[in-house]
């Protein structure tokens, strides 16, 4: 009995489906027949029947899918337990009963099923009545077509529109009554009815001018309110969207071109208030976006085309109310979301609304003084108050929205200051919004939002760059030029920090992008500060201000990097070192001495700030810091050398005294480094290799360069004093340089053969040039290469001096058992002997030739007696 009892509902369901299909086919067929009265007789009938059959098929398939989903768990449970519960003999018994149910969905094709249902419809039930209804409908349709064609019955357009409206109302009523049994079908009917009513009202107004604009607007308002009520009662998002779109388009559809903006904005205010009311019950984001886009697009077009300053009083209240309504929508959207999604913020309403409202304010206020500044302060106050209220009364799920409001409050409070002094708010607001968008992308794990935020910051910088620097505009420091650039830089730093902290599949790319963003921000910071200094200060004080500003910026960035453990910012802080080098170069090319203006304060303070910055970076990035220390010390030495040279040159013109005095600076610094090393003081103790070795070598190179310029580039005239050998500025500076080099060699790398050979060679060259300079001043030989080489006095002096040096080297090599030193002296003596025969021998009949030959010969005799060659080394390379 069970099968029989269970088959009755299936039979009733099949009968219901057949009746529904046939009914829809017939209704749609006759609608198509009536619509095509002026066309071929059966074209509209066939088209309508096909549409009705397709609609019925969709509904039937939907119901079957729902039924299969409800039954699906039962067969899976039976099949999973049957093999394990009983052996094969027990399982074979129910198999024949199960197979028909599995194979039951296999049915004839669509055409065969359609013919079968038509056959059943015409062969079951009250067949005469069904056939009579069809024939009657066909006859009436033919009669109506005949009457229309021969103008026996004229359907006025008013009647046609009323019939269409009545059909739409019939669809609405039918859909409402079927909402419990066939939800999708019912909502489709209601949506179609609403759409037909919208189009009917539009046609009555615009196409046929049958109703006035005021009545059409009232009808559209009523239709919009009805759509909203139906949507909320049935939880139908599609009806709500349809009603909202129709409501926002209603003023556009009924507009005659002479409308009142107060009516337009009032209607949009009502619609947005209704959307907020719907948001209290249903968190439908689509409605919020439709209201947002429609209001700002249509309202923005009116603002752009028709707004005049005289309309401010009737427009500004609506802008404020729209702003408040959209913030309420954003709060309700986050509040009414499920707990699992409560942390999601509607970024469009939260971040785009203040930007568009601020742009609207700019259009409304025009050139009003401090108008945008007060608007920014008001927005900041609103966000602070709202964030405080949400933090106190809101659920924990609103914490992200609260933080977003705090970020916006800070952004607008920061923006208020430049707006009070300059109207450049666009780029700054874009940059701040980009930073906020990057932050929200990090909090929500959205890489696209982070990328959009970073690009927005870059776009803000490009917009500000395109706008250009307005020279001498606004008060110093507190002007749109400087503060706009600094806001772009700060926004870039914030976005870079958030990109560096991101995780996910794009984390590697975002870290590289963060480094690029840091470089971008450093460039904006340096550029804005530099241009402000050049714009506001006299040229004499500009280098000092630039130096101090760049050094202070590097220290500030290093401090921020240290507190936040930000590696990219640490590296960027070290960019202040090459910037200071460029500043000195520019100052030198400009003909200014380093301490010009306030340079006496700026340069020492800058070097001190750089050392403080490097001390804070030691543990975090030791390699870069070890590289930067020698550069900073060398820069300080060069600055001091240039200043000492300039100061000495003022009372004593010429390069001799100034160059000699300047060469003392790096030498004294080298001695100071080794004093710090002996006392284990910072910074030498922290970098025992970078300072004594490399920094000392750089300083010696600077000292050697100055001494070389003195020896080769000047004649060493110590005017206004007289010349004394060895007791003149050039010789004293050369001796001091050699002593510093010997101290560095002994204290840093140790006394080795290679170092001694290099230093000895330098001493040989320096002493030779000193001898040439003495012959110039005391012997009257011109200070030029040709006369010096041709002078007999010079050649004799060189022979005697080189022989004395060779004699000293050979004797010292013998006494110290340094064979290499004795060989060096012997080689120099051989050079002297060769020179005697090749050069001096040509100066016949001169006392100088006699002195040179006798002197060199006598020294050789003494060498032979006092300094015989030492024995060969037995393993020590330095012997």
pLDDT digits (tens, 9 = 90+) for 107-123: 565 566 666 766 665 66
Asked if 196 contacts 225 with a C-beta cutoff of 8 angstroms, the reply is: no
Report how far residue 776's alpha carbon sits from residue 794's, in angstroms, rounded to the nearest whole number. 9
The tokens describing 221, both together, are 């308002």
Mean pLDDT of 577-602: 88
pLDDT value at residue 664:
94
Cα-Cα-Cα-Cα dihedral sign, residues 309, 314, 318, 320: positive
- For residue 59, what pLDDT band results from cuts at 50, 70 and 90? low
Q: Which of 576, 566, 650 is nearest to 610 (CA)?
A: 576
Report how far residue 744's alpha carbon sits from residue 738's, in angstroms, rounded to the nearest whole number. 10
pLDDT value at residue 31:
52
Domain boundaries, the chain: 13-80+108-149, 422-526, 791-879
Asked if 840 contacts 852 with a C-beta cutoff of 8 angstroms, the reply is: yes
Report how far residue 157's alpha carbon sits from residue 150's, in angstroms, rounded to the nearest whole number. 17
Report how far residue 361's alpha carbon sits from residue 338's, in angstroms, rounded to the nearest whole number. 36
More confident residue, 582 or 201: 582
Asked if 283 contacts 332 with a C-beta cutoff of 8 angstroms, the reply is: yes
Asked if 438 contacts 454 with a C-beta cutoff of 8 angstroms, the reply is: yes
More confident residue, 877 or 457: 457
What does each C-alpha distance from 613 to 248, 494, 558, 643 come to in angstroms?
Answer: 60, 21, 6, 24
pLDDT value at residue 526:
93
Give me the residue label for tokens 């200060």: 537
Mean pLDDT of 478-500: 88
The tokens describing 798, both together, are 């060189």
DSSP structural state of residue 841: G
Average pLDDT over all residues of the chain: 75
pTM of the model: 0.54
Per-residue pLDDT of 735-756, as tens digits, reads 999 999 988 888 766 556 677 7
What does each C-alpha distance from 340 to 38, 93, 334, 344, 442 come to in angstroms?
Answer: 59, 50, 11, 9, 18
Cα-Cα-Cα-Cα dihedral sign, residues 413, 417, 420, 423: negative
Percent of the chain with pLDDT over 90: 14
Q: How far is CA 800 from the centre of its chain?
A: 73
Per-residue pLDDT of 531-576, as tens digits, reads 999 888 888 888 899 999 999 999 999 998 888 888 888 888 888 9
Give me the residue label for tokens 């609304």: 353
Lowest mean pLDDT among 222-231, 295-304, 655-664, 738-747: 222-231
Mean pLDDT of 235-254: 70
Burial class (CB in 10 A: 0-12, 13-18, 19+), 851: middle
Alpha-carbon radius of gyration of the chain = 49
| Angle, vertex CA 573, rays to CA 569 and CA 574, nearest 5 | 125
Burial class (CB in 10 A: 0-12, 13-18, 19+), 532: buried
pLDDT value at residue 19:
47
Report how far residue 879's alpha carbon sits from residue 867's, in angstroms, rounded to the nearest whole number. 16
Outline where DSSP puts E strands in 424-507.
Answer: none
Mean pLDDT of 608-635: 86
Report how far residue 553's alpha carbon sits from residue 284's, in angstroms, rounded to the nearest whole number. 48
| Angle, vertex CA 113, rays to CA 110 and CA 114, nearest 5 | 85
The tokens describing 315, both together, are 């427009």
Question: Any idea of the CA torsion for 392, 394, 399, 400, to the nearest 10 degrees?
Answer: -130
- Report the residue count for the chain: 879
Q: How far is CA 287 from the centre of its chain?
A: 31
Asked if 453 contacts 436 with a C-beta cutoff of 8 angstroms, the reply is: yes
């Amino acid at each position: 009995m069970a099968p029989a009892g269970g088959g009755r509902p299936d039979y009733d369901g099949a009968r219901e489906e057949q009746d529904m299909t046939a009914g829809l086919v017939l209704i749609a067929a006759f609608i198509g027949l009536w619509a095509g009265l002026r066309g071929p007789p059966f074209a509209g009938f066939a088209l309508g029947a096909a549409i009705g059959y397709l609609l019925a098929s969709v509904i039937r398939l939907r119901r079957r899918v729902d039924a299969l989903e409800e039954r699906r768990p039962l067969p899976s449970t039976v099949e999973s337990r049957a093999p394990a519960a009983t052996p094969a003999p027990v399982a074979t018994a129910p198999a024949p009963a199960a197979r028909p149910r599995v194979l039951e969905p296999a049915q004839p094709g669509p055409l065969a099923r359609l013919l079968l249902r038509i056959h059943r419809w015409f062969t079951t039930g009250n067949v005469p009545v069904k056939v009579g209804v069809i024939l009657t409908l066909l006859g009436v349709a033919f009669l109506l077509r005949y009457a229309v064609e021969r103008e026996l019955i004229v359907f006025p357009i008013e009647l046609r529109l009323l019939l269409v409206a009545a059909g739409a109302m019939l669809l609405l009523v039918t859909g409402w009554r079927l909402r419990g049994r066939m939800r999708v079908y019912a909502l489709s009917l209601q949506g179609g009815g609403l759409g037909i009513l919208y189009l009917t009202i539009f046609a009555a107004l615009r196409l046929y001018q049958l109703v006035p604009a005021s009545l059409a607007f009232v009808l559209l308002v009523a239709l919009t309110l009805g759509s909203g009520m139906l949507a909320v009662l049935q939880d139908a998002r599609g009806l709500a969207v349809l009603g909202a779109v129709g409501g926002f388009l209603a003023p556009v559809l009924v507009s005659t071109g002479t409308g009142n903006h107060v009516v337009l904005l009032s209607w949009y205010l009502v619609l947005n208030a209704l959307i907020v009311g719907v948001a209290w019950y249903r968190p439908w984001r689509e409605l919020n976006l439709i209201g947002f886009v429609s209001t700002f697009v249509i309202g923005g077009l009116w603002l752009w085309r028709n707004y005049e300053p005289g309309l401010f009083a009737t427009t500004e209240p609506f802008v404020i109310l729209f702003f408040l309504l959209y913030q309420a929508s954003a709060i309700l959207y986050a509040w009414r979301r499920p707990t699992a999604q409560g942390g999601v913020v509607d970024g469009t309403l939260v971040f785009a609304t203040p930007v568009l409202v601020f742009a609207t304010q700019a259009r409304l206020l025009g050139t009003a003084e401090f108008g945008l500044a007060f608007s920014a302060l008001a927005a900041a106050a609103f966000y602070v108050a709202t964030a405080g209220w949400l933090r106190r009364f809101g659920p924990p799920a609103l914490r992200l929205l609260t933080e977003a409001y705090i970020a916006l409050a800070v952004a607008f409070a920061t923006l208020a200051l430049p707006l009070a002094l300059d109207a450049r708010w666009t780029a700054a607001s874009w940059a701040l919004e980009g930073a906020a968008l990057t932050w929200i992308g990090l909090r929500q794990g959205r890489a696209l939002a982070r990328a959009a935020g970073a690009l927005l910051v870059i776009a803000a910088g490009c917009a500000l760059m395109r706008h250009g620097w307005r020279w001498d505009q606004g008060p110093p420091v507190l002007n749109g030029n400087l503060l706009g650039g600094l806001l772009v830089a700060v926004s870039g730093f914030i976005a870079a920090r958030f990109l560096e902290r991101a995780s996910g599949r794009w984390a590697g790319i975002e870290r590289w992008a963060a480094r690029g963003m840091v470089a971008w921000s450093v460039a904006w910071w340096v550029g804005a500060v530099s241009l402000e200094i050049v714009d506001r200060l006299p040229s004499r004080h500009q280098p000092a201000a630039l130096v101090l500003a760049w050094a202070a910026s590097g220290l500030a960035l290093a401090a921020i990097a240290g507190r936040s453990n930000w590696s990219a910012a640490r590296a960027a802080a070290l960019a202040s070192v090459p910037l200071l080098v460029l500043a000195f170069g520019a100052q030198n090319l400009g003909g200014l001495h380093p301490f010009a203006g306030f340079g006496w304060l700026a340069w020492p303070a800058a070097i001190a700030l750089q050392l403080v910055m490097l001390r804070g970076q030691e543990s975090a990035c030791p390699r870069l810091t070890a590289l930067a220390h020698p550069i900073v010390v060398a820069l300080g030495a060069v600055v001091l050398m240039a200043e000492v040279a300039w100061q000495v040159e003022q009372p004593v013109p010429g390069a001799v005294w100034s160059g000699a005095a300047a060469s003392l600076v790096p030498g004294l610094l080298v001695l100071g480094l080794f004093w710090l090393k002996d006392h284990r003081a910072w910074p030498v103790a922290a970098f025992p290799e970078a300072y004594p070795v490399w920094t000392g070598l750089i300083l010696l190179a600077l000292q050697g360069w100055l001494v070389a310029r003195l020896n080769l580039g000047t004649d060493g005239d110590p005017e206004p004093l007289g010349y004394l050998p060895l007791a003149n500025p050039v010789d004293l500076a050369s001796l001091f340089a050699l002593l510093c080099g010997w101290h560095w060699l002994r204290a840093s790398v140790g006394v080795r053969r290679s170092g001694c050979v290099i230093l000895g060679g330098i001493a040989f060259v320096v002493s030779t040039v000193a001898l040439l300079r003495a012959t110039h001043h005391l012997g009257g030989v011109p200070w030029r290469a040709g006369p010096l080489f041709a002078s007999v006095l010079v050649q004799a002096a060189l022979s005697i001096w080189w022989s004395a040096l060779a004699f000293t080297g050979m004797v010292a090599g013998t006494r110290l058992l340094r064979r290499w030193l004795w060989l060096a002296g012997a080689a120099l003596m051989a050079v002297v002997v060769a020179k005697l025969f090749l050069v001096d021998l040509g100066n016949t009949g001169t006392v100088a030739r006699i002195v040179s030959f006798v002197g060199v010969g006598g020294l050789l005799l003494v060498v032979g007696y006092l300094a015989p060659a030492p024995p060969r080394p037995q393993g020590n390379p330095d012997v």
